[in-house]
A and B are shown apart, each in its own frame.
Chain A
Amino acid sequence: MRHTPLRDQHVALGARMVDFHGWEMPVQYRGILDETRCVRTRGGIFDLCHMGRLEVTGPDRERLVEHVFSANLGKLKHGRAKYGFLLDEGGFPLDDVLVYRDTDLVHIVINATGRDHDCAWVESRRDAAGLDAQVREVSDDQAMIALQGPVSEAVLQPLCDANLGKLRYYAFTNARVRGIPTLIARTGYTGEDGFELFFDPAEAVATWKALLETGADHGLEPIGLGARDLLRLEAGMPLYGQEINTSIDPLEADLGFGVDLAKTATVGIPALAARKAHGLTRHAVSLAAEGGRVPRTDTELFDAAENGERVGRVTSGGVSPTLGRTIARALVHTGYESLGTTLWADVRGKRWPLQVVPHPFYRRGA
């Protein structure tokens, strides 16, 4: 199994380590619900070194990214980040990514599972289009640590030379943390304010410890992948492989904000636009219930308590400590997406009712 430079830190902190797509990662330290609440009310620090990152350089770098990235890079200012997809020719996502547009390069954060294929995919599209750009996977050349939660700015500010008060949501800056050159981005995957830091992996342990130490006064704690999954689900954010994959497209998944259908020269966009013109046959919905069984990924949904039609399936489910309810994202046939619709989750032969509710489940400050 692969491991990050912070593995020994997690073990020393009492984490339960699991195999996450071939990576030995902390699923929890104290408990998933406790860690979820900690990020919502105070703050948490996450080891994300397993995630993949690409750097695109060269004269045609922005043309190449425009060609493979579903959202519109041209509309993005330098120093800003944008969420979107690497689509295949059929308009289905090979990965969901965050693109950071810098002045001399484009930085792309991909999923850990995308490390196997994203770089080669972008290179193959470059070659097919005859563009002059270099694509380099830098996943192992950078540590990635996230700080998320209301105390994030107070924890990071004393350690860095950037004025974080001026750094807007989805903006980034090249600055120093503990004197070490660090890309600081005001991005995240929890629905809270926070930062993602990219820097020399040889400094990973020192920066992790410094952030935990500074954060201790603010109630900051280390957070595992279990709480990370629950936080993103509460905030309505997709997980690649579940909400979207090579058979669920971004429009069905209600992620159209990451797609610019006017970009007809981008791989996959013409196919997506054609499907939209025909009308979508499936829709992503948010479901909630008071207690009961937890509808896990692939749980089938029916339109009645007994018999009835199979109308969809759960893509992610969990128990929300923030809402005190059972929540799930699901993909259902057109006609079952209206708010208030009752759908029945079949858990081992027994059916449990859930209601279609507004999306997302949780929005900060709301």
Chain B
Amino acid sequence: MSDRPNDIRYTSSHEWVRYQGGVATIGITDFAVEHLGDLVFVQLPEVGDEVSAGDSVCEVESVKAVGEIYSPVAGEIVEVNAALGDDQGPLASDPFGAGWLFKIKTDDDASSLMDLATYEAQLDAAS
């Protein structure tokens, strides 16, 4: 299991958000990756797309299933992790680092999202 960072925010649908100077970097947690199984494809959003919180903006496909990734915040997509198109490995090996999915320029704050302790309590309650 990856060590989950304490300085980022989490969603109940297993995305994570790292805020830095008005830009939110978004990825999926080790739990989500583990649950999907062997990954084979990532459909990233387009840079410039305007998204609302809760929009399905990205799809991560595994051998067995397709996982939809919802944007936790509203804003404009300013960067995507295009390297994942060729190699989905970083999603499994470094989900909170090199496996990031996309970045959104946003005015939203993190107040409605979970901190690590709350997220892990949710995982424990579900297992």
List chain A positions with a Cβ less than 8 A from chain B: 27-28, 31-34, 226, 230, 291-294, 296, 318-319, 326, 348
Contacts and interface: CB of A to CB of B under 8 A. Distances in A.
A326 B41 CA distance: 11
Nearest to A230: B63
A318 B63 contact: yes
Contact of A319 (B40, B43, B59, B66): B40
A348 B64 CA distance: 17
Contacts of A293: 41, 43, 61
A33 B41 contact: no
B41 A31 contact: no
Nearest to A28: B37
Contacts of A318: 63
A326 B63 CA distance: 10
Contacts of A348: 59
B61 A226 contact: no
A46 B59 CA distance: 32
A27 B64 contact: yes
Interface in B22-67: 37-38, 40-41, 43, 59, 61, 63-64, 66
A261 B32 CA distance: 51
Contacts, number: 30
B34 to A, nearest CB: 9
A33 B38 contact: yes
B33 to A, nearest CB: 12
Contacts of B64: 27, 32, 226
Contacts of B61: 293-294
Nearest to B63: A32
Given A32-B38, A32-B63, 13 more contacts: A27-B64, A28-B37, A31-B38, A32-B37, A32-B64, A33-B63, A226-B63, A291-B41, A293-B41, A293-B43, A294-B61, A319-B40, A319-B63
Interface of B: 37-38, 40-41, 43, 59, 61, 63-64, 66
B49 to A, nearest CB: 15
A294 B37 contact: no
Residues of B contacting A: mostly: strand
8 contacts: A32-B37, A32-B63, A32-B64, A226-B37, A230-B63, A293-B61, A319-B63, A348-B59
Residues of A contacting B: mostly: mixed
Nearest to A319: B40
Contacts of A294: 40-41, 61, 63
A307 B36 CA distance: 32
Contacts of A230: 63
Contacts of B40: 294, 319, 326
Q: What 7 A-B pairs have minimum CB-CB distances, sorted nearest first?
A: A33-B38, A32-B63, A319-B40, A31-B38, A32-B38, A226-B64, A293-B41
A321 to B, nearest CB: 8
Contacts of A27: 64
Residue from A32, A230, A319 with most neighbouring chain B CB atoms (10 Å): A319
Nearest to A326: B40
A292 B43 CA distance: 9
Contacts of A326: 40
A33 B38 CA distance: 7
B31 to A, nearest CB: 13
A292 B40 CA distance: 8
Nearest to B56: A348
Nearest to A352: B41
A27 B41 CA distance: 20
A34 B63 CA distance: 11
A27 B59 CA distance: 22
A250 B90 CA distance: 43
Contacts of A226: 37, 63-64
A292 B41 CA distance: 7
B22 to A, nearest CB: 31
Contacts of A31: 37-38
Nearest to B65: A296
B54 to A, nearest CB: 18
A293 B37 CA distance: 16
Contacts of A292: 41
A319 B41 CA distance: 10
A296 to B, nearest CB: 8
Residue from B40, B59, B64, B66 with most neighbouring chain A CB atoms (10 Å): B64
A232 to B, nearest CB: 14
Contacts of B37: 28, 31-32, 226
B64 to A, nearest CB: 6
